[in-house]
Structures are given as structure tokens and as C-alpha cells.
Structure 1
Amino acid sequence: MRSIGETARDSGLGVSALRFYDRAGVLVPAWVDPVSGYRWYEQGQLEEARLLARLRRGGMPLADIRLVLASWSGADTDLIRKLLTAHLSRLEQGLSDARIEFSALRALLDHRENSVTSLRTATVRLSIAAPALAAALDAVRFAVSTDPELPMLGGVLFDVEGESLHVVATDRYRMAVARAEAAGYDGSRVQVIVPTPLVDAMRALSDSGGPVRLSVDGDRVTLEAGDGQAAGQCLDHDFPDYRRLLPVAGGRRALVEVAAFRAALETGPVRAGEAGAHDLSVLRVQDGSTVILCADGDDDPDRVAVNREFLLDALAAGAGDRLLLELGAPTVPVVIRRPDDEGTFSMLMPVRLED
């Protein structure tokens, strides 16, 4: 007999996926311990688990997967071939439809690029308190993308409007926004993406106590602090419109003691992610004010799963003894705020639970 962990490791399916497929009646373990509830699989079921993993990676619907597995054990190869052929036809049609839609979208993008004036053309001179800039950069730095396929996310957006500087970073799975008061500029809105190495150099300069001076000239940005200077080219890309992604009020809020909550996350229950993925923490608000970690078997419909590592990073970036967590529906991002600063927050995309 093979344990569920061994079966997960050798098949390419996560432990949570095996539990899901057991409950769905697709791949039922040979024996379940009546005391512990632990699942055990026969050696021959490993082949079925590997087949299931392949079908899943190929995007086959659950109903068809169930038929393929049933036919596999009965050696009904004709039905299996028909199911595979039908699924491939659906995928090819879907790809064809996607190509048509994306072609139309590219035409719209070309039109927008030719008709909209870039927000990078203006000249900006403004002054910011060094501690305020340092705190803002610390609040967002963890969310910068390292994906070479998405160079527009490989830095921090500096969004200047009036006497406000918003700094924003996102890697698609999380987004962080912070605001700092600025002075000396009252022109139109200007946006530039500052590459990560230059952001880090600016952060080092911001350790001074006095004001720092930020300048933007076209595609060049400069930060001056005393006799020090950090300057370089902005990224020649357009950042996503982060304002359209801002959280909507209405989630359940809970104030957490950061040290205690971190300890609970580091030692408490987790859900195993898919092969190669991070562990998940599953959260819910109890009694309207307390965040608790859900263990396996907790089927509260309002529970929300998030990447545990990302949540720990967001708590550290929050830089406070207490932080507000906002939890909405299981498909709504988790928001982490400072109680005394609504303009600085981070958002974590939820992860869909299969069980």
C-alpha cells in the first residue's frame, strides 16, 4: 500500500487534489483508516493517478476524466480515443477563437498607443520627506515581479498627481500600493516605472533624515538626497491601470496582532499546493472580528485560501504591530492595511480550493 503523500509525489498530483478526486469518486483510495481518516492506495492505482494527472494538465473536464479512468481499467480503448479526440477538437476550436479575439485586441492596442499621449512626457520636480519615501518603498518592494516575460512589472510605478506620490508594485498574484505626501509640483498626472535596481538605490538614499528631491525628465528619473544621487532610465513600458484593481469596501475586517498571527501562520495548518507550488493558508473570520486558520475538514463557505509565503511577506511589509485584514468572498483578494493609513495596503489573490 502507498500513502497519500507517496502517491502525490510519484503521480504529479497534489495531496489536496487526491482528496478532491476521492470525494468526487474519480480515484478512490483502496483503504481509509477508520480512526485517522488517512488514505492508502494500492500499487496499481499509481498508474491511474499518473493518467489522471496527464488528463488534468491537458484541461479535460472532470466528467470526461471519470469516463477515461473507468474505460482504462476495462481496456475500452475505443471510447478513450473518442474522448481524447473530442477534447482536442474543443481545445483547437478554443485556440482559434482566442486568436481571433486577441488579434482584435492588438488592433485596439495599436490604436490606443497611437492616439493617447504618454504620461511620461512631462517634467516633474518635487520634494518628499525621506522617511515617508523609505516607508512607501518598503511597503511595496516585496510585490515587484521577477518574471522576464512581463518586463512592465519589473519595477515600481511612481504615480505623481498634485501633491501625492503613489508607488505601486504587482506580480499579478499580489499588489502593493503606498502613498507619500509631496510638495513642489502641481501639474498634470505623470507616471514612470522605476526599475528594481534603481528603486533599491533610491531606498538606500532615503535613509537620510531630511527631504529628498525627485525629478522626472521624460524617460529619466533622479533622486537626490544631500550630496548623494541615484539616477537612471525608466522602463519603456506601460504599467497596468492599478486604480481599476483597487479593493472595493465591504469585506469582513479583523484586527490582528502581527507577531502572534505570524507565529500561527508559521506553525499552523496549511494546505499543500500543487506540484511545485507554495503551501496555502486557509483563513476565515470568526465572530466577526477574529481571523483563524482552517484545518482540513473545515468547509466554511467563506474561507479564503492564500499563498502563505506571500501573506508572510505582506505582514512584514505592513511594518506595524497591528494590521487590518479584509476577507471577502473566496474569489476576492485578501487586503492587508495599516489601521492608521488607508492609503497604504497590499492585496493577495486568493487560490481556488479544489476540496
Structure 2
Amino acid sequence: MRSIGEMARDGGLSVSALRFYDRAGVLVPAWVDPVSGYRWYEPEQLEEARLLARLRRAGMPLADIRLVLAGWAGADADLVRGLLQAHLRRLELGLSDARGEFSTLRALLDRRENPMTSLNTATARLSVPAPELAAALDAVRFAAGTDPELPMLGGILFDIEGEGLHLVTTDRYRMAVAQARTTGHGGLRTQVVVPLPLADAMRALLTGEEPVQLTVDGDRVTLETGDRQTAGQNVGHEFPDYRRLVHLPAGRRAHVDTATFRKALETGPVRASETRKKDGEAFDLSVLRVTENGTVIVCDDGDDDPHDVAVNRAFLLDALTAAARDELVLELGAPTAPLAIRRPDDTDTFSILMPVRLED
């Protein structure tokens, strides 16, 4: 017989998904240990698990999956083919409807006046302390997007307003925000998306302690420090309204020693059977839980707590490095709410990670 871990690994389903499908009566284990509650599966159930994984990836409802599995086990090919064909028709109709809605939305966007235009065509000249701008770039660079289909995310947003400069990056799965003080602007709010190569060239110049001059003139951005400067064109696309994305629901706050927490992530359990793919690349999942005494632990393959939060482990390690503090504050909300990583001494610099669902 196969253990639940072996079934998850070989069947393409997560351990938590197998528990869910057991409770739903879709794929029930052959035997459950009455003492430990551990689930065991017959070898022939592996084929059903793989079939179930394929059907769920295709978006088939559980009610239909039950019938498909029943027909598969009873060799009722007509039933299975009929259910597959019916689901395919639903998908095709849904895609047709979605295309119609997106066409309407594109037309509305074309006609709608863009409120960000004035933000991105303004002129601004301001002074920024070099160490603060360097620290802000270091804090956000890791979360910048690289998807060529989303060029507006392939840079760092410089959001200038009053005496503050916010730097923001996101690749949809994570977001980072940092702030630096400025002087000399005093004009209207101005935004520009600086492409990553230009942002990296700016960072290379920030080696001193003196203020540097940042100039935005339409679509051109220039950084001057002493007798050196770097300049280039902005990305030329609108950046999402990040202020709508950083207001998170209240969650549980936990202080962590960064080095200790990093070691726990690097050496602790990962959901190897739940290795996922992002843009075609596999990644490991770490599941976090806040204990009653306020400690954050990395969970093993035991039964999931309903408040556990699962995140991309590599992304979380990147966020710890970018935060650059010996102690950090983690904010964990519901399993579907983003995880926030904050500095205890700087509320304006933080990053957030989108969670990953534990149940497929």
C-alpha cells in the first residue's frame, strides 16, 4: 500500500489535496490507521489519483469528477467520454464569453480618460540622500517583474509626492515598497517607471554620502552625483495603483530573528509533493504557522491548521535578504491573504508575498 506522501508524490496531488478529496468522498483511502489517522492507498488508486489531478487542472467540478472516477473504475467508457465532452463544451462557451467581456473592457479602456497621464508627463527635479536611495533600491529590486508580456512591471516605480519618494516593484506574486526623503520638489505628484538596467546603473553610482540629484523630464530620467550621471528613457507603460494593493486585512503579527528564521526555512520541511510551477519553473512551498506563544514555525506534513499560510520559499528568502534587518515582523492573515514582511523600525519599507493555496 502507498502512504499519503507517496500517493501525493506519484499522483501529482498535494497531501492537503488528498485529505480534502477524502473528506469530499472523491478519492477515499483504502485504509486509515485508527490510532494515528494516517491514510493508506491501494496501488490501483494511483491511476485514479493521476486522473483526478488531470481533471482538476482542467477545471472540472467535483460533482462530475466523482462520476468520471466511478465510470473509470467500472470501465464505462461512454459515461466518461460524455462527461469529458460536456465539460469541454462548457470551457469553450466560457472562453467565448470571456473574450466578449475582454473586448468590451478594452473598448472602455480606450475611451476612458487616463487619470495617470499627468503624473507621467510632469517635470520634477529633487535632491535625495544617496544612502537612502541606495537602501530603497536594494529593498525593492528583488520583486521587479521579468515577464515580457507585462512590460509595465519590468522596472521600478519612482513615485514622487511632496517630500517623499516611494520606490515600488511587483511581479504579481510579490510586491516591495520603500521610501526615501527628498528636498526641492514641492510640485505635483509625479511618477515614472525606471527600467531595471537604468535602475541598476543608478545604484552603481550611489557610493557616497552626499545627496544626489534626480530629474524627471517627460519620459527621460537622470541621476547626477558629483561629476557622474546616468540617464535613460522610462518604461513607457502605466504602473498599477500600488496604494490599492498594500492595505492588507489585519493579521497576526510575529517578531522573528532573521538569521534563525532563515535557517528554519532553509533546513526545515518543504512540501516536496506540492512543488508548483510559476511561469514554467518549479518552486518549493513553505507552510508557516503562528503558534500560541507567537513563534512562527515552518510546518511539516502533518494535518494542516486552517490558519496556515503557504508561500514560495525562495521568494520569502529573497524578502528576508532585501529587508536587511536582524529582526523582522511578519504579518500573517488568512491563508488567502498576502504575507507581509516589515522592518520593526521602518514602517514605510516592506514587502508582501501572495500565498499559495494548499488545496488543489
The residue that corresponds to 1:206 in the other structure is: 206
2-structure distance, mates of 1:168, 1:337: 15
Secondary structure of 2:182's counterpart equals strand
2-structure distance, mates of 1:333, 1:171: 14
* Residue 31 of structure 1: how far off its partner (Å): 5.7
CA contact (8 A) 2:4 2:15 kept: yes
**Distance 1:8-1:331 versus aligned 2 partners, 3 A rule:** closer
2-structure distance, mates of 1:299, 1:114: 45
2-structure distance, mates of 1:18, 1:27: 7
The residue that corresponds to 1:350 in the other structure is: 355
Secondary structure of 1:146's counterpart equals coil
The residue that corresponds to 2:95 in the other structure is: 95
* 103-112 or 149-158, larger mean C-alpha shift: 103-112
* 295-304 or 345-354, larger mean C-alpha shift: 295-304
Q: Which amino acid aligns with 2:265?
A: L
Alignment partner for residue 324 of structure 1, among 326, 329, 334? 329
The residue that corresponds to 2:314 in the other structure is: 309
The residue that corresponds to 1:171 in the other structure is: 171
CA contact (8 A) 1:326 1:335 kept: yes
Which runs of structure 2 are paired with 1:120-131 in the superposition (5 Å)? 120-131=120-131
* Residue 131 of structure 1: how far off its partner (Å): 0.5
Q: Deviations over 1:182-228 (max 9, x none)?
A: 11101111111111111111111112221111111111111111222
Secondary structure of 1:183's counterpart equals coil
TM-score by length of 1: 0.91
**Distance 1:211-1:120 versus aligned 2 partners, 3 A rule:** same
**Distance 1:238-1:24 versus aligned 2 partners, 3 A rule:** same
* Residue 96 of structure 1: how far off its partner (Å): 2.4
* 110-119 or 280-289, larger mean C-alpha shift: 110-119
1-structure distance, mates of 2:58, 2:88: 9
2-structure distance, mates of 1:76, 1:118: 64
The residue that corresponds to 1:264 in the other structure is: 264
* Residue 256 of structure 1: how far off its partner (Å): 1.0
* Residue 32 of structure 1: how far off its partner (Å): 6.2
2-structure distance, mates of 1:96, 1:10: 35
* Residue 249 of structure 1: how far off its partner (Å): 5.7
**Distance 1:146-1:36 versus aligned 2 partners, 3 A rule:** farther
* Residue 235 of structure 1: how far off its partner (Å): 0.5
Which runs of structure 2 are paired with 1:108-257 in the superposition (5 Å)? 108-113=108-113, 117-248=117-248, 250-257=250-257
Over aligned residue pairs, what C-alpha RMSD do you find?
Answer: 2.4
The residue that corresponds to 2:50 in the other structure is: 50
Percent identical pairs in the alignment equals: 74
Secondary structure of 1:166's counterpart equals strand
Q: Does 1:70 align with 2:73?
A: no
2-structure distance, mates of 1:285, 1:49: 32
2-structure distance, mates of 1:23, 1:175: 35
Q: Which amino acid aligns with 1:318?
A: A
* Residue 18 of structure 1: how far off its partner (Å): 4.0
Q: Which runs of 5+ in 2 are unaligned?
A: none
Total equivalences in the alignment: 355
* 296-305 or 229-238, larger mean C-alpha shift: 296-305
CA contact (8 A) 1:14 1:275 kept: no
* Residue 338 of structure 1: how far off its partner (Å): 0.7
Q: Does 1:107 align with 2:107?
A: yes
CA contact (8 A) 1:13 1:274 kept: no
* Residue 13 of structure 1: how far off its partner (Å): 3.6
Q: Which runs of 5+ in 1 are unaligned?
A: none
CA contact (8 A) 2:30 2:40 kept: yes
CA contact (8 A) 1:71 1:80 kept: yes
**Distance 1:250-1:205 versus aligned 2 partners, 3 A rule:** same
* 281-290 or 311-320, larger mean C-alpha shift: 281-290
Alignment partner for residue 333 of structure 1, among 306, 328, 338? 338
**Distance 1:148-1:117 versus aligned 2 partners, 3 A rule:** closer
1-structure distance, mates of 2:185, 2:119: 15
* Residue 9 of structure 1: how far off its partner (Å): 5.1
Q: Which amino acid aligns with 2:199?
A: V
* Residue 248 of structure 1: how far off its partner (Å): 3.2
2-structure distance, mates of 1:112, 1:194: 25
Q: Which amino acid aligns with 1:167?
A: L
The residue that corresponds to 2:292 in the other structure is: 287
2-structure distance, mates of 1:328, 1:5: 27
Secondary structure of 2:117's counterpart equals coil
CA contact (8 A) 1:16 1:271 kept: no
CA contact (8 A) 2:165 2:179 kept: yes
* Residue 288 of structure 1: how far off its partner (Å): 6.0
Q: Deviations over 1:233-273 (max 9, x none)?
A: 11011000001001336222111111111111112222233
Secondary structure of 1:119's counterpart equals helix
